[in-house]
Chains A and B, each alone.
Chain A
Amino acid sequence: WKFLPSPQRNSGALLAGRPVNVRDALNQAMDEELERDERVFLLGEEVAQYDGAYKVSRGLWKKYGDKRIIDTPITEMGFAGIAVGAAFAGLRPICEFMTWNFSMQAIDQVINSAAKTYYMSAGAQPVPIVFRGPNGSSAGVAAQHSQCFAAWYGHCPGLKVVSPWNSEDARGLLKAAIRDDNPVVFLENELMYGVPFDLSEDVLQKDFVVPIGKAKVERRGTHITLVSHSRCVGFCLDAASVLAKEGVECEVVNLRTIRPLDVDTIEASVMKTGHLVTVEGGWPQYGVGAEICARVMEGPAFNYLDAPAVRVTGVDIPMPYAKILEDHSVPQIKDIIFSVKKVLNM
């Protein structure tokens, strides 16, 4: 994150002079949107009196009360359905899944009730809802709590799917998602919650939004394009700084949005560098990287490739528990460096 182009000023109305971690960025974004629009409310397990299982909603219940910050029983299918119904009737719910693993209990409501309704009703019934929660691998939580759902939800028309990396992404994309009149799947990352980033004054403005569907080039380079989302963006930047010492300049693209995919930004970069490596935490088969490679094959950037595009992904296994095994189940910086050198034939 030394490569952030935004200025290093730390000032901002509420958090002057301090870096903001992703958790606080999400918290502040929700607070501002709750204040801005009375129809916005948050529901989920432990979001109110517990301050959020991961403290993302800390302080909100104290400020807004029972009506707008609602603790639900442990009944995902039921409360996700209730959230969608509330959106049908004109409210703007934020439905939290404690982790996206639990969304599988409710996935029918996300896909069949939320995503498809505007289409089936020929535009009569919009569904302005945000589903959010931590996604992907954490630390030591084992197989049932570590899955990445970017590919599953990214597959479905009618959904917007976003995956922020840093605090600016988290703040701007969450505001955009809440203001969007459509169902948005908001994939956070637990290991990023505590990571601080400098935020400029512009970013701390109340109407700052990051447009959904637009990727960001976090680092400019000329030799190879690295495309990633969420926590892996940080690994790509780390790999890039190591590679820079060997004279390899990587361009790092932070997807920010999984669906709709910003193919234009990816293609422009590949057409410049001629080489592509995608990096993701999720499993390889039918994943985000697979989609990116397919799109590059089918578009103008193919003719600029000097080597096949490859993917760096999570290992194709359920997540093990023991630390040494877990460490070897996710993409590491050395995997990215290794792949870059292979693609560049170094």
Chain B
Amino acid sequence: RVLELTGCAASMVASSRSYADFTPEATFDIKKVDLHRLEEGPPLTATLTREEGLKYYRTMQTIRRMELKADQLYKQKIIRGFCHLYDGQEACAVGIEGGITLSDHLITAYRAHGYTLTRGGTVREIMAELTGRRGGIAKGKGGSMHMYTKNFYGGNGIVGAQVPLGAGVALACKYLGNDQLCVSLYGDGAANQGQIFETYNMSSLWKLPIIFICENNQYGMGTSVERSSASTEYYKRGDYIPGLRVDGMDVLCVREATKFAADHCRSGKGPILMELQTYRYHGHSMSDPGVSYRTREEIQEVRSKSDPISMLKDRMLSNNMASIEELKEIDIAVRKEIEDAAQFATTDPEPPLDDLCSHIFANDQPFEVRGATPWTKLTSTS
């Protein structure tokens, strides 16, 4: 205050500004949500506390940087096989988690690194799983598409299979009477899978506490939504299931819609469907440059106009909820966390060969496994 009055340099003013000067909470207008079979939708405003803002910012930035580091490591051939990156879609994972709790359940497909983080995984163990090391979240046995945490059932490689699995988790929630729900995610490409419609049917019949979420990033691999789907109104595809179409680039939109959906489920009304309109900056996977079926201009336009991290940052700065320096410090801390994780992921040893046959069966006596030749006798432990 004193320094301000004496007209010192702006940076000095900023750095000596106490946290008591920041706005603790602000309310923002958010985009109206398109509704299907619903009289009312989520509110048109969202209240964000400074604390929440900083948390969302940090988590989204962590996902962003983690995915970009994975890109780097893949190009250096330290990560191999499949690697489907989530940069651009951060507001979905972070917003969803903002609308549920960790005692709720979540399952998704293979673009899963962001969810592994929001569901309690650490960057270290995620990256070490990508590099196939023993310190990986699945001890190197699963890789990019098969990461699990408590109440997070992966990471699933078969397009669409995760949706009935999620309904099964929801069935267990209802059966056990624990007031929990399951969020079951799928993409625009998966949205045409027959088993998803089978799941809509059973979830509705049995009023399962499931939130179906279609992350529509406009492309299934290289096939745009117009070329794959007779109806691209994915939020209506549940037919008798109420639906919402939400701006998936705005973390507050996603959060409010998720809260609304969670209330719907917990009040015993059965399933609800959310379509999140989002975008991925990378191609489908690391083997897809991502520009043969869309233009660089399109990617650039989304980046400049709708980036989820920039959107949150602008909101917080223009409402005096944080300072540029503070956010920069977060960036630096995130960068360090990623660097440390990458360091671990590249130096941690690969799993021991003894682990080759382990984890076939749970709670079983060790048993013999045939190796590549009749003389190679290996052992499996639980």
Contacts and interface: CB of A to CB of B under 8 A. Distances in A.
Interface of A: 41, 67, 70, 72-73, 75, 77-91, 93, 108-109, 112-113, 117-128, 157-158, 160, 181-182, 213, 260, 298-299
Nearest to B196: A78
Interface string B142-158: 10001010000110111
Given A86-B169, A122-B141, A260 B199 contact: no
Contacts of A160: 361
A75 B170 CA distance: 18
Given A77-B164, A121-B359, A157-B369, 4 more contacts: A85-B153, A85-B165, A182-B364, A299-B374
B117 to A, nearest CB: 16
A117 to B, nearest CB: 8
Given A81-B167, A119-B359, A109 B142 contact: no
A102 to B, nearest CB: 13
A160 B202 CA distance: 28
B148 A81 contact: no
A112 B300 CA distance: 38
Given A77-B195, A78-B198, A120 B138 contact: yes
Given A73-B198, A79-B198, A86 B172 contact: yes
Nearest to B208: A82
In this complex, the interface size class of chain B, counting residues with CB under 8 Å from chain A, is 35 or more
Contacts of A181: 361-364
B349 to A, nearest CB: 15
Nearest to B165: A85
A328 B170 CA distance: 49
Contacts of B170: 85
12 contacts: A78-B195, A78-B201, A85-B166, A90-B176, A113-B161, A118-B360, A120-B138, A122-B139, A125-B153, A181-B363, A182-B362, A260-B367
B165 A123 contact: no
Interface in B347-369: 358-364, 367, 369
4 smallest beta-carbon distances between A and B, as pairs: A85-B168, A81-B164, A78-B198, A89-B172
Contact of A122 (B142, B166, B173, B195): B142
B150 to A, nearest CB: 9
Contacts of A108: 158, 161
A322 to B, nearest CB: 35
| Most chain B CB inside 10 Å of its own CB: which residue of A41, A79, A84, A122 | A122
A25 B14 CA distance: 79
Contacts of B206: 70
A157 B176 CA distance: 31
A182 B164 contact: no
Contact of B146 (A84, A88, A120): A120
A298 B148 contact: no
Given A88-B153, A122-B139, A124-B148, A81 B161 contact: yes
Given A67-B175, A85-B153, A126 B141 contact: no
A85 B363 contact: no
B194 interface: yes
B105 interface: yes
B148 A123 contact: no
B378 to A, nearest CB: 12
Contacts of B23: none
B101 interface: no
Contacts of B367: 213, 260
Nearest to A299: B374
B172 A75 contact: no
A91 B146 CA distance: 22
Given A72-B202, A77-B195, A91 B359 contact: no
Contact of B362 (A67, A73, A123, A299): A123
B205 interface: yes
A126 B206 CA distance: 25
A91 B168 CA distance: 10
A153 B195 CA distance: 22
